[in-house]
Chain A
Amino acid sequence: MKILAVTSCPTGIAHTYMAAEALQIAAKELGVDIKVETRGSVGAENEITNEDIKGAHAVILAVDTKVDEERFSGLPIVKASVKDAIKDAKGLIQRAMAMEKKEYVDKVFEAKKESKEKITGAYKHLMTGVSYMIPFVVAGGILIALSFMFGIKAFEEKGTLAAALMDIGGGGAFSLMVPILAGFIAFSIADRPGLVPGMVGGVLAGKLGAGFLGGIIAGFAAGYVVAWLKKVIKLPKTMEGLMPVLILPLLSTLIVGLGMIYIIGGPVAAINNAMANWLKNMSGGSAITLGIILGLMMAFDMGGPVNKAAYTFAVSTLAAGQPSMIMAAVMAAGMTPPLGVALATLIAKDKFTEEEREAGKAAFFLGISFITEGAIPFAAADPFRIIPSIMVGSAVTAALSMAFKCTLAVPHGGIFVLPIPNAVGGLFLYTIAIIIGTLVTGFMISALKPKR
């Protein structure tokens, strides 16, 4: 009979290891095979593998910190504190031994689940990054929206509350969004050493204008670079202490940073220029075609380089407060992505996690405020279904806005500008265009997303 155990305490200096040793001593006395994973300040050691879980009878969690229980799903779990393990390790092991092993049918089901999890390993890393990013998007987005409530340009006045809110939301929370996404993707792949190159790569993605898609690339690159470095660098025992504090962070950050600047940075800049020129040439052609293209661009990377190109182009058409059809189409197309995902979380509840459904409510608020970033957590978690859906919705909205000849005289503001006199030309039809785009995106996501 084999028992697994995880020990972990808040400081991770002493109790984690005492509990582990106590369990090992008790197991020896009882003649039970045990494997104890310690999660202390050095990180996870003697890690439990899927192989271990398959062959185990039960698992003891002697922890005073939060540990991932999901990976043991299927195994009976004995929950305890490190204190319990130090005081009465024997009792814990006996309790674990007395646990009922799951039925055969369950095991088959678990095996299936496991193979599915293996395929979607990258998906797991992505989701880790996304779940850490969501609160940043929500907090930052709502603070920016609050700033707009004082007036669309209120934040430009230095020293006002509106300026402070914009600083906190935009300069603070939003600027951390991509670094956090990239950092925790890398963290999920390579544990603690992944965080540094991931976050630095994320910051560079932002600086280079590569947006959240650049951040995802940075995160995965950082994670796998660290994992690779860990494998290839062999140090004498006495120097091992240098690995986590000096060697891994330094080398991985250097590699990821250079990669971002020289491999990702160049093409991104070239694409940005090419798009700007191309849009300039397009503006002579059919208004509806231009609307479709701008809509697709606005939704493609939500605040990334493609989106920025479309937005900057639109702002440039706002010559001295002159209302612009292009500006109207672009703002509408930037509102529907978060609105569409928010709608999808309502009509297809069972296809989203609890966390995502909550984020959906925030996304609605961000959508009406023309903060396209509100859809990023959803797009990052499931890019191949979400991004096409929001692109189609935004294209429809922008094309309709052009067809209806709606105009906009301000560069930002979402629904807060709608009541301002003369800000929007063709208000009713403009609203219709936004609603239709939202419906398109919402229903398309609902149809494409698989059941969980």
Chain B
Amino acid sequence: MKKNLPLIVAFASGLLILIAGFIPHKPFGMLEETLTNWFMIISSFAILLGQISLIQANVTRVAHRSPNWQYYLAGLISFAGMVVFGLLWGMEKTPGILGHGEGISQNLGSKPFDYIFDYIYMPLSATMFSLLAFYIASAAYRAFIIRNFESNLLMITAVIVMLGRTSFATWITSWIPDSWGILQLPRLTDFIMQYPNTAAQRAILISAALGVVGSSLRIILGIERSYLGGGK
């Protein structure tokens, strides 16, 4: 019962959406809209669940004084700060429990939540991703070691695309006459993106779509049931 009923729920909800996809009229169209709305609400609770799990893990580390527990405490404090400020004074144009907090916003220049977002979260996020620029360089070295024709192709294309998006590429290939304009790096980059790249992306999309259809059918028909987990 504990396993079969969820399978029926998955089958019924999946079937309803599929029918609505082919018969977009009452009552199926309306049912699809309702189910999609429900899906969005339940997904929000799933996000909440993820955050509760993160807090649980960090609280356990701090409580047990695990190695580096001080950093996890800092993580918990920053989480609590963001949530409290967001709940009390809201974000952007949305008011919080205490309204928009005009007084505090005047002093900070923006709402406390937005202040933390602009001056701490955004620099952290952008720097974290920009850090990858250095590691991607070392990955490039390993990827670009020419072993065979295929890795050669990958390297040449990557170099053309990287150069083709800079003003340097325009400068070094501007001498090529317009009749051979396709050899100018910016135009060659556009050609690669428009034709061979699109071809490969399309092949991947078409093949993956068939895979998605197959696995979706397995889920809806209850053949694939690993999402229910183990246990009784």
Q: Do A and B bind each other?
A: no
